[in-house]
């Protein structure tokens, strides 16, 4: 097991955002976290990534506890993440953005530049390497966000709604990229997604969150038929 | 890139040869430009690179000046030793302020206010320290000024010019090197988006502290220079908010975060303000405060119309990239 | 150190503090609504003080009578400042707006220096030398009147925001910029109105202060910092907080002046600012 989330909870000033959630992400697989808005998905990401510390429970990565670590320590431990609202370094070039990430694992700037270049090629951004990040379109910004996180050579990648705002063809391209990387480098991916097209195409396992609790787990086929899931998305069945 | 090196080389040569072409007044103006260029560059490290707005930077100039000055005044020890004490004290101060600010999550305007509060606190405090001369000031003995006494940093204006030139060039080279190094990348990342920087493994607290420490150290050297150039120190003058604002005008007008901005801004500002004061004096108008009104209006114009500073605008004209 | 002396000093501190509080109230209102850090606040106060001394010098107008015209003038100037200079730059980054007002402050202070010179100016009225005697306590008449004016102005402002339509509209803009726009409020106009109101507060405070201290240009930056200390200690965005903070600072300054040396009194205020920024940045009564 690569990532183990055990009974974590988090409250914000009385509002229980995450309530006793548990799930596991096996190494090398692609998993998804889905659920309605406000279900607590991004909060769980933030808990894993070290932005918050859980009020209770544990998070283990590769057997070691990571709950309570700072975000930069979590990155050093091998977890990369993207943000729901992309956060590019607007004043820097695309290449420089990725170099910042690459410097996490490379000792020299030259080495980081080389590694960053190869990542940009993988994501199809190398033509735009010397453009300012602020000039990119949204799909490219999303790609940049992913490239930056990948440059830190993570073993687990947390993707927060990367497909939002992308057209179906762009979405498919991203799916291909993730499939390739996961296959080639054994990268474990956990994604939060609303775009079911991507979820069904990528995820081997899905966890469904509702009101901060995990209400269902399983393969895509199982989850889609789970009555609890249907209820939380579509409401109760009533006789007219 | 080639083109920029050529320009830089020409500029450097011009600056080195300058004293041969100009009179003593112009030389003192040039020294002043370099002083503001250097100090502005030092401030720029904190603001332009790490994104922390310090409006109380006169604190480091003052502490640096008083540290070296007091050691010379009371013990007769020359500025080369005093320099280290000054740097040490200023770095310690900077680290304290940085620690308090960053640990408690103070940023933006609140951080600026914190820096102002510290500077003001020190200003009033020094007014009450008699060992440092109190409000009446500290006066350093001025020995003969014709020979170059580098050990005690006393000599003709030419010596001060070249010292400041050396400092400014050194700061420029240092900042250029830093910008291309890991530190430069990390600082700019923090400046652009601290949260994203953390997610990429950057210990933002440590790097912000480093920026503050470096900026404080560099600024303290300004203070030491100030002490031995002007030879009199008054708390209400050296720690004043006016000074803090004066320091940052160069980089703000020239272009925060750029390499050449502070130098360019300092030059433009000093030359223009001097020109205006001269012109007004020629017309018989010697009014206190007019220079500052001018500064204020220029600052206003730049903030409104050229928010990234004048240098990026000029650079684009000449198609230079930094 | 007799109790009476300390009591008198504290009372004087409270009264002066109320005037400080009104000044800070203006800043709090501006920041609370427009979200702009008015770095020229103290300079505006100083301009108001000069206005009061000018009107006194030219027309022998008691500063209390000057309050109305000066406040009206400041309302207009504040409105113009926001509408003309700040509103167009509302989308700029925070430190850009800040710098804008720093520039305005520099121009103001030094324009005052140019026009009036560095010498102190003041207002001289008979009742400034008189005081009320309550038992062993001495209360300066001028100070008491000034404090009353401050409290009245603050109350007026409070009522305005509570009960008037414009006041409610402004509070809406402060609470939710987008929401206010969606329901059709001309937010920029209300911002300008608010800046005008804040400036009018400063005007009243300045006229009141002209009775208590001599005015020189360097008071500008001093009052700016003081206003910030008060607003941060009392809590940004809280009206009662500003008044409370003002009183606190007024008293601490007065006591510091008594027990330490008078020139060190502002050191205490800055120390307090540092402490509050570190320990409770939302102030005593404020909400972030």
Q: What is the CA radius of gyration of chain B?
A: 19
For B309, counting Cβ atoms within 10 Å of its Cβ (0-12 exposed, 13-18 middle, 19+ buried), the class is buried
pLDDT digits (tens, 9 = 90+) for B24-62: 888 888 898 999 999 999 998 888 777 778 889 999 999
pLDDT digits (tens, 9 = 90+) for B212-238: 999 999 999 999 999 988 888 888 889
Contact A8, A58 (CB under 8 A): yes
Average confidence score pLDDT of chain A: 89
Residue A12's Cβ-side half-sphere holds a number of Cα atoms within 13 Å equal to 9
Taking CB atoms and an 8 Å limit, are A72 and B191 in contact across chains?
no
Taking CB atoms and an 8 Å limit, are B203 and A100 in contact across chains?
no
Distance of alpha carbon A16 from alpha carbon A12, whole angstroms = 6
Taking CB atoms and an 8 Å limit, are A70 and B198 in contact across chains?
yes
Instruction: Enumerate the residues of chain C whose CB falls inside 8 A of the CB of residue B100.
Output: 274, 278
What pLDDT is recorded for position B243? 86
Asked if pLDDT for residue B302 goes beyond 50, the answer is yes
- Domain B2-318 of CATH type 1.10.3470: yes
Mutate to test the interface with C, among B58, B128, B293 (most CBs of C within 10 A): B293
Kindly report which listed range (A89-103, A205-219, B280-294, C20-34) carries the lowest average pLDDT score: B280-294
Distance of alpha carbon B300 from alpha carbon C88, whole angstroms = 14
Task: Give B28-91 as a DSSP string.
Answer: HHHHHHHHHHHHHHHHHIIIIIT----S-THHHHHHHHHHHHHHHHHH---HHHHHHHHHHHHH
Instruction: Name beta bridge partners: A66.
Output: none
What pLDDT is recorded for position A201? 86
CA distances from B316 to A136, B14, B248, B321 (A): 21, 23, 23, 7
Asked if pLDDT for residue C178 goes beyond 80, the answer is no
What are the sequence ranges of the domains in chain C? 3-217
Kindly report which listed range (A204-208, B146-150, C131-135) carries the lowest average pLDDT score: B146-150
Q: Across B14-18, B278-282, C13-17, C221-225, which has the greatest mean pLDDT?
A: C13-17
Distance of alpha carbon C100 from alpha carbon C86, whole angstroms = 8
Over range B311-315, report the average pLDDT: 80
Cross-chain CB nearest to B292 (options C92, C96, C110): C110
pLDDT digits (tens, 9 = 90+) for A134-186: 999 988 999 999 999 999 999 999 999 988 888 888 888 889 989 988 888 88
Taking CB atoms and an 8 Å limit, are C264 and B121 in contact across chains?
no
What are the sequence ranges of the domains in chain B? 2-318
Instruction: Please name the helix (run of DSSP H) or strand (run of DSSP E) that holds residue A144, with its range, or none.
Output: helix A138-150
Structure tokens at C79: 């409105």
Instruction: Please name the helix (run of DSSP H) or strand (run of DSSP E) that holds residue A81, with its range, or none.
Output: strand A79-81
Over range C162-166, report the average pLDDT: 83
Over range A92-110, report the average pLDDT: 94
Instruction: Enumerate the residues of chain B whose CB falls inside 8 A of the CB of residue A160.
Output: none
What pLDDT is recorded for position C1? 62
Using 50, 70 and 90 to split pLDDT, how confident is the model at C237? low
Asked if pLDDT for residue C269 goes beyond 50, the answer is yes
Assembly ipTM: 0.89
Over range B238-251, report the average pLDDT: 86
* Inter-chain contacts counted by CB atoms under 8 A, chains A and B: 73
Over range A79-101, report the average pLDDT: 93
Distance of alpha carbon B230 from alpha carbon B140, whole angstroms = 9
Give residue ranges of C with CB < 8 Å to any B CB: 37, 85, 89, 92, 94-96, 98-100, 102-114, 117-118, 217, 221, 225, 228-229, 232, 261, 263-264, 266-267, 270-271, 273-274, 277-279, 281
Over range A23-49, report the average pLDDT: 89
pLDDT digits (tens, 9 = 90+) for B151-175: 777 778 888 888 899 999 999 899 9
Q: Is this prediction's pTM over 0.90?
A: no
Instruction: Enumerate the residues of chain A whose CB falls inside 8 A of the CB of residue B201.
Output: 72, 75-76, 101, 104, 152
Kindly report the nearest CA distance between residue B103 and chain A, in angstroms: 13
Share of chain C above pLDDT 70, in %: 93
> Going by beta carbons, is chain A in contact with chain C, meaning 3 or more pairs sit under 8 Å apart?
no
Using 50, 70 and 90 to split pLDDT, how confident is the model at C256? confident
Residue B210's Cβ-side half-sphere holds a number of Cα atoms within 13 Å equal to 14
C171/B60: higher pLDDT: B60
Share of chain B above pLDDT 90, in %: 28
What pLDDT is recorded for position C240? 84
Taking CB atoms and an 8 Å limit, are B288 and C118 in contact across chains?
yes
Q: At what angle do helices B261-282 and B290-305 cross, to 10 degrees?
A: 140
What pLDDT is recorded for position B1? 58
What pLDDT is recorded for position C288? 44
What pLDDT is recorded for position A113? 93
Distance of alpha carbon A152 from alpha carbon A147, whole angstroms = 9
Distance of alpha carbon B30 from alpha carbon B22, whole angstroms = 10
Beta carbons within 10 angstroms of residue C259's beta carbon: 13
Taking CB atoms and an 8 Å limit, are B307 and C98 in contact across chains?
no
Instruction: Enumerate the residues of chain B whose CB falls inside 8 A of the CB of residue A72.
Output: 198-204
Instruction: Name beta bridge partners: A9.
Output: A56
Q: Give the SS3 label for residue A61.
A: strand
Average confidence score pLDDT of chain B: 85
Contact C70, C205 (CB under 8 A): no
Over range A99-106, report the average pLDDT: 94
pLDDT digits (tens, 9 = 90+) for C68-121: 999 999 999 999 988 888 888 776 666 677 788 888 998 998 899 888 888 888
A232/C252: higher pLDDT: C252
Taking CB atoms and an 8 Å limit, are C263 and B110 in contact across chains?
no
Structure tokens at B144: 């003969």
What pLDDT is recorded for position C65? 87
Over range C50-55, report the average pLDDT: 91
What pLDDT is recorded for position C94? 65
Distance of alpha carbon C170 from alpha carbon B186, whole angstroms = 42
Cross-chain CB nearest to A109 (options B181, B196, B204): B181
What are the sequence ranges of the domains in chain A? 1-78+154-240, 87-151
Asked if pLDDT for residue B279 goes beyond 70, the answer is yes
Which CATH number does A1-78+154-240 carry? 3.40.50.300
CA nearest neighbour of A80 among C23, B201, B19: B201
Kindly report the nearest CA distance between residue C65 and chain B, in angstroms: 31
């Amino acid at each position: 097991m690569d990532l183990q989330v055990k009974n974590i909870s988090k409250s914000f000033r009385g509002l229980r955002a995450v309530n006793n959630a548990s799930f596991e992400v096996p190494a090398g697989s692609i998993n998804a976290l889905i659920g309605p808005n406000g279900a607590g998905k991004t909060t769980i990401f933030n808990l894993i990534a070290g932005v918050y510390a859980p009020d209770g429970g544990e998070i283990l990565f590769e057997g070691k506890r990571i709950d309570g670590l700072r975000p930069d320590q979590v990155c050093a431990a091998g977890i990369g993440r993207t943000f729901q609202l992309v956060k590019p370094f607007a004043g820097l070039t695309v290449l420089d953005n990725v170099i910042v990430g690459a410097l996490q694992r490379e000792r020299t700037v030259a080495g980081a530049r080389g590694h960053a270049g190869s990542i940009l090629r993988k994501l199809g951004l190398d033509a735009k390497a010397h453009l300012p990040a602020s000039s990119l379109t949204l799909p490219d910004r999303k790609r940049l966000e992913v490239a930056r996180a990948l440059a830190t050579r993570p073993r687990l990648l947390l993707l927060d709604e990367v497909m939002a705002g992308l057209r179906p063809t762009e979405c498919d391209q991203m799916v291909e990229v993730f499939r390739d990387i996961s296959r080639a480098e054994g990268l474990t991916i956990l994604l939060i997604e609303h775009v079911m097209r991507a979820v069904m195409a990528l995820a081997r396992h899905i966890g469904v969150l509702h009101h901060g609790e995990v209400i269902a787990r399983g393969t895509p086929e199982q989850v889609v038929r789970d009555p609890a899931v249907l209820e939380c998305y579509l409401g109760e069945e009533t006789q007219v | 890139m080639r083109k920029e090196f050529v320009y830089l080389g020409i500029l450097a040569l011009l600056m080195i040869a300058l004293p041969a072409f100009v009179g003593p007044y112009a030389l003192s103006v040039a020294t002043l430009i370099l002083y503001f260029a250097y100090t502005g560059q030092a401030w720029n490290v904190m603001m332009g690179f790490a994104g922390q707005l310090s409006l109380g930077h006169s604190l480091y100039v003052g502490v640096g000046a008083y540290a070296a000055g007091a050691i010379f005044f009371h013990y007769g020890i020359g500025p080369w030793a005093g320099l280290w004490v000054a740097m040490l004290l200023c770095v310690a101060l900077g680290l304290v302020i940085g620690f308090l600010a960053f640990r408690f999550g103070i940023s933006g305007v609140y951080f600026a206010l914190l820096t102002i509060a510290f500077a003001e606190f020190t200003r009033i405090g020094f007014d009450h320290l008699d060992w440092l001369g109190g409000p009446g000031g500290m006066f350093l003995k001025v020995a003969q000024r014709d020979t170059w006494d580098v050990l005690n940093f006393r000599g003709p204006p030419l010596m001060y010019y070249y010292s400041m030139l050396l400092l400014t060039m050194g700061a420029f080279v240092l900042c250029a090197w830093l910008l291309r190094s890991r530190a430069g990348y990390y600082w700019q990342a923090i400046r652009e988006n601290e949260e994203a920087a953390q997610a990429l493994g950057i210990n933002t607290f440590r790097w912000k502290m480093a920026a503050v420490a470096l900026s404080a150290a560099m600024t303290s050297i300004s203070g030491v220079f100030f002490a031995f150039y002007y030879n009199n120190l008054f708390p209400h003058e050296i720690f004043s908010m006016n000074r803090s604002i004066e320091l940052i005008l160069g980089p703000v007008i020239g272009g925060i975060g750029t390499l050449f901005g502070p130098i360019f801004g300092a030059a433009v500002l000093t030359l223009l303000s001097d020109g205006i004061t001269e012109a007004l004096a020629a017309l018989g108008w010697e009014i206190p405060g007019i220079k500052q009104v001018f500064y204020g209006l220029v600052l206003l114009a730049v903030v409104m119309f050229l928010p990234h500073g004048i240098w990026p605008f000029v650079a684009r004209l000449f198609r230079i990239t930094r | 150190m007799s109790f009476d002396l300390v009591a008198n000093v504290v009372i004087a501190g409270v009264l002066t503090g109320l005037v400080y509080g009104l000044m800070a109230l203006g800043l709090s209102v501006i920041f609370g609504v427009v979200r702009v850090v008015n770095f020229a606040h103290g300079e505006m106060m100083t301009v108001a003080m000069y206005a009061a001394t000018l009107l006194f010098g030219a027309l022998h107008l008691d500063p209390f009578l000057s309050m109305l015209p000066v406040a009206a003038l400041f309302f207009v100037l504040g409105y113009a400042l926001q509408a003309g200079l700040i509103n167009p730059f509302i989308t700029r980054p925070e430190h850009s707006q800040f710098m804008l007002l720093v520039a305005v402050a520099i121009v103001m202070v030094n324009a005052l220096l140019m026009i009036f010179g560095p010498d102190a100016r003041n207002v001289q009225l008979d009742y400034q030398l008189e005081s009320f005697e309550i038992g062993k306590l001495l209360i300066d008449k001028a100070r008491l009147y000034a404090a009353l004016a401050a409290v009245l102005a603050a109350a007026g402002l409070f009522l305005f925001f509570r009960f008037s339509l414009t006041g409610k509209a402004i509070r809406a803009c402060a609470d939710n910029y987008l929401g206010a726009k969606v329901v059709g409020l001309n937010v920029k106009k209300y911002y300008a109105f608010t800046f005008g109101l804040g400036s009018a507060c400063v005007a009243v405070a300045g006229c009141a202060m002209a009775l208590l201290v001599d005015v020189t240009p360097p008071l500008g930056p001093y009052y700016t910092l003081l206003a910030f200390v008060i607003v941060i200690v009392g809590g940004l965005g809280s009206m009662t907080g500003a008044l409370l903070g003002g009183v606190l600072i007024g008293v601490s300054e007065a006591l510091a002046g008594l027990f330490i040396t008078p020139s060190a009194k502002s050191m205490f205020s800055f120390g307090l600012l540092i402490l509050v920024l570190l320990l409770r940045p939302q102030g005593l009564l404020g909400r972030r």
